[in-house]
Structure 1
Amino acid sequence: MFLGTHTPKLDEKGRIILPAKFREELSGGVVLARGQERCVYVFSRPTFQEKVEAITKAPLTSRAARDYVRMFLSGASDEVPDKQHRVTVPAALRDYAGLGRDLTVIGAGDRAEIWATEAWEAYYAEKEEAFSSTEEEVIPGLF
């Protein structure tokens, strides 16, 4: 499970050092994909395979499903961490998420997310008040 907030740097070759807490789960390889809200999703290979199996069960006749599958899978990249636990973030994904040197990597349960630090801080500032003031059940069974 991916938890916490980490602040690695992107090196000049477009590589990120995976947070130590995530390394064991990602040691067998990672899949990077376009995330919603202009971040990069980071999945373990088995979790990504589960996601692919789930989304490809959507009816082929559903335009929204076809669009989602195309956007999600066309930007996905299978990567293997090197001996220093670095993973290359492909240029297309760096551009998509506006990634520069300063990054914020957050744990999001079954995945990690890579954000441009400035974008994460803006997102966090915008969403924190709503999170703090939630009065009703947003996620069934959570509270």
Structure 2
Amino acid sequence: MFMGEFQHTIDAKGRVIIPAKFREGLGDKFIATKGLDNCLFLYPMEEWRLLEQKMKSLPFTRADARAFVRFFFSGATECEVDKQGRILLPANLRSHARLDKEVVVIGVSTRVEIWSREEWEKYSRQSESTYEELAEKIVDFDLGI
């Protein structure tokens, strides 16, 4: 399980450090793709395969399902961590997540997310004000929180 929040920077070549705590869970090779809310999602290969199976079950006759699958898979790339603990993020992924210099790498249960610091702070401020409302809604799912 991934959890925690780490501040890093992207170098001029588009490389970012993946915290050691997350590298172990992601494995030698993992997938980075366009995430929701203007961030990137990083998945261990096993989790990626589970998502792939779920995506295959979506009805390809529905335009919204096709659009989502195209978006999700077209942005995907296989990553490997170098000896300094960095990964190279392609320009299209950096552009999608508005990554420039300062980034936040967070653990979100089964995935890791990479955010621009500015976007993460904005998202956090907005979400923080509705945190209790969200908690009340998810209690309906009987999560035992």
TM-score by length of 2: 0.93
- Would you say 1:43 and 2:43 are equivalent positions? yes
Which residue matches 2:83? 83
The whole-number CA distance in structure 1 between the counterparts of 2:60 and 2:110 is 26
Work out the CA distance in 2 between the residues paired with 1:123 and 1:16: 21
Q: Name the SS for the 1:12 alignment partner.
A: coil
1:13 aligns with 2:16: no
Aligned with 1:7: secondary structure?
strand
Count matched residues: 143
Q: What is the CA–CA distance in structure 2 between the aligned matches of 1:124 and 1:9, rounded to whole Å?
A: 19
- The 3-state SS of whatever aligns with 1:83 is coil
Q: In 2, Cα distance between the equivalents of 1:65 and 1:24? A: 33
Residues 135 and 97 (structure 1), Cα distance of their counterparts in 2 relative to 1, 3 Å cut: closer
Distance in structure 1 (CA, Å) of the matches to 2:142 and 2:101:
39
Mapping for residues 117-128 of structure 1, pairs under 5 Å: 117-128=117-128
Tell me the CA shift for residue 135 of structure 1: 6.2
Question: Which region of structure 1 is more displaced relative to structure 2, 107-116 or 26-35?
Answer: 26-35
User: Does residue 116 of structure 1 match 2:116?
Assistant: yes
Does the 8 Å CA contact 1:28/1:45 hold for their aligned counterparts?
no
Q: Which has the higher strand share?
A: 2
- What is the root-mean-square deviation of aligned Cα atoms in Å? 1.3
- Ranges in structure 2 where 5+ consecutive residues have no aligned partner: none
Unmatched 5+ stretches in structure 1: none
Distance (whole Å) between structure 2 residues aligned to residue 135 and residue 56 of structure 1: 31
1:141 maps to 142
User: Structure 1 residue 23: deviation in Å?
Assistant: 1.2
- State the shift of 1:16 in Å: 0.8
Equivalent residue letter for 2:41 = Y
- Percentage identity across aligned positions? 36
Deviations 1:55-107 (A, max 9, x none): 11111112111111000000101111112221111100001111011001111
Corresponding letter in the other structure for 2:57: K
**In the superposition, relative to structure 1, how do residues 103 and 61 fare at CA in structure 2: closer, same or farther (>3 Å)?**
same
> Which one-letter code corresponds to 2:52 in the other structure?
V
Give the letter aligned to residue 124 of structure 1. S
The aligned runs of 1:30-69 (5 Å cut-off) are 30-69=30-69
Alpha-carbon separation, structure 1, partners of 2:65 and 2:8: 34
Residue 134 of structure 1, CA deviation: 4.4
Q: Which amino acid aligns with 2:66?
A: R
